[in-house]
Structure 1
């Protein structure tokens, strides 16, 4: 199945049937998410993987009782760093040096970029980190479609309450999106057979000379 075919197949699933996502499929989705594009490769966010039925039950009221929360096999919660710190950046630079087999001293361009980032206002950096998390979020949605796993992108939840439940503040994180993974319940999902509607390409793409 091509990427276009996968994106035509997928939709924001409204009801799921509780079937577990097979581990190889889940692993592929998670690995694609890990490999997603990120500015300078920093990945200033984390992805929390939830499969505990008990925890999903606690999250459900925080997500305004959307049924997919507990019907899904897994939840992926995308949480951005609350602060982009020098320590976090230095850890990444060290990872680059270790994995590429080069001395840290050779990565001056990356260190200069770090200084430019850290010179910006803290909230600007946090918003930047959140946008990076959205890049991975989109990759996860596409990866799920390629695996024929249904997914529901969600912003409809109480972020501070979810952060408190998961202890994210202590981890230096703030939640932004949830992606439910599972399989559609064709008998209960009103959207399952609806035509996918997107703006026509003539209106969507702008060519500016």
Structure 2
């Protein structure tokens, strides 16, 4: 039941204490949780950028609706989706799978070809939205990991993705900025932390079909 208690504790922090920093041990734990997140076909078609440089965070703030979380949070993560999944991406994952499980690549080559065909079935728009969903799954895992550690985190869509893409040179890397995650510690006098969490009741979120 600890997970539910931690999720009740967390909230989208609006004001961070800039003097408090998250330890590298805890950051590495969050990174490992993201690494282990569920991903369709195991492809992980996303990359997470860790922004620590204060000057870069200041430069990104105007591109993020001037929200203070960008500069005041201990860490800023940019979750990026791959614009396109290539045959090389699939081959790389198959090779990693074979190496990790110590099996001949030939044993899973058929599955690799199947995944390649499924990727080719997607239009450019479908591919873009599919990889973005994968990035969001990783974002959700990061939020849960932060809650477990009692570290504050704010998922953010309030930013200009195209400006981020240009500033960080993402398009040249085949990436697109999907979402941001500010991580740190809440400011002590932030009144919002005492508000009760408002969520729809389970009875309206779930429907039992017979």
Could you say which TM-score interval applies, normalised by the shorter chain?
A: over 0.9
Of 109, 126, 142, 2:144 maps to 142
C-alpha separation in 1, matches of 2:51 and 2:65: 18
- The answer for the alignment partner of 2:10 in structure 1 is 10
Residue by residue over 1:2-23, the C-alpha shift from the partner in whole angstroms, topping out at 9 and shown as x without a partner, is 1111100000000000111011
CA drift at 1:120: 2.2
Please say if residues 86 and 118 of structure 1, whose CA atoms lie closer than 8 Å, have aligned partners that are also in contact: no
Within 1, Cα distance between the matches of 2:48 and 2:7? 22
Separation in structure 1 between the aligned mates of residue 192 and residue 201 of structure 2, nearest angstrom: 21
Q: How does 1:99-118 map to 2 (within 5 A)?
A: 99-107=100-108, 108-118=110-120
2:63 maps to what in 1? Answer: 62
Matches within 5 A, 1:146-161: 146-161=148-163
Segments of 4+ moved more than 2 angstroms? none
Cα shift at 1:127 = 1.1
User: Matched residues in 2 for 1:150 and 1:64: separation?
Assistant: 20
Report the alpha carbon displacement of residue 37 of structure 1 after superposing the two structures with TM.
Answer: 0.3
For these two proteins, the number of residue pairs brought into alignment is 208
Matches within 5 A, 1:126-205: 126-187=128-189, 189-205=190-206
TM-score (structure 2 length as normaliser): 0.96
Structure 2: runs of 5 or more not aligned: none
Matched-pair contact (CA < 8 Å) for 1:84–1:126:
no
Q: CA RMSD in A?
A: 1.1
Give the alignment's TM-score, normalised by structure 1.
Answer: 0.96
Shift of 1:186: 2.3
Q: How far is the alpha carbon of 1:113 from its aligned partner?
A: 2.2
SS at match of 1:191: helix
- Structure 1: give runs of 5+ residues left out of the alignment: none
